[in-house]
Amino acid sequence: MNDIPVFLVNKISSQYPSEKDQILKGYSANRYPSFRINRLKTTKEEIQKILKEDGVEYQTFPFLEDAFLLFNRKEDYLLAKDFYREGKIYVQSLSSQLPVFFLEPKEKESILDMAAAPGGKTTQVASLTGGKCLITACEKSRPRWEKLKYNLEKQGVKKVTVLNQDARTLDDFFSFDKILLDAPCSGSGTFHIGDTFSEELVDRLPHTQLELLRKASKIVKKGGIILYSTCSIFKEENEDIIEQILKETDLELVPISLEEVPLLPSSLEGALVIAPTEEYEGFFLAKLRRRNS
């Protein structure tokens, strides 16, 4: 515990008094590497064959059908494989794969990824739809925009418009069937022993998160879906943001649930707070729909 910033420990104790020890244990855990297949370039059977030949112990998941969790290999194993270099897989945490799972992208839909770099979720949308949806991906940072473009090309994603732009400045004339907002956050769910953690981020980011969600509420079609997520477990970046946007706009909460993942209590019924463990990063997810009337 001495390696975890006092501010972080105190905040966890305040918001999760009964789960504090569980969260701190999750911070110190050595997380198993995970990845998902890229359907645009490979099949699950092809990757399973290679893993079995290499003697890799792994787990798959009925709810994340493209995901793999490795038990007796480090991430370096994946990075050295041809299937990684060829873009047949994308190294991505299980928690990070859940926003797109709940977004449920379909062929021919217009989908916006508001904070897209480095591209894990953008490429996941393309993979799940066979590259047959219309994706717009925004990234305001030029270096991260370049990384996003690189990953899209590596993964073989074609139907995507990549904008080097702050999504908050998008014209209100845009209109999307679905919007993914994996918002910039403090990273309180992905903290690991040895990381630095900024108290200032927790104070500053909610303003940005709320502005992004306000923009999303204006440019999602009536009846359309917004999936809001962060890799934080703090209320001011999550439940407080959702409760505020529900007061201001014509958005409504679409309850989501998933019994298979380790959960922390949420003050917002129908939203999910995932606990940090050896398998999962701490994460928050909420699904919103714009009312038709």
Which residues are tagged catalytic? 231
Q: Which long-range contacts (CB under 8 A, 24 or more apart) does 129-132 make?
A: 129/105, 130/39, 130/40, 131/40, 131/156, 131/157, 131/158, 131/159, 132/107, 132/108, 132/159
Contact 209, 237 (CB under 8 A): yes
Closest CA to 169 of 107, 126, 218: 218
Nearest-angstrom CA–CA distance, 120 and 102: 15
Tokens 């999962």 locate to 280
- Amino acid occupying residue 5: P
Could you tell me which residues are beta bridge partners of residue 226? 179, 288
Closest CA to 99 of 67, 121, 132: 121
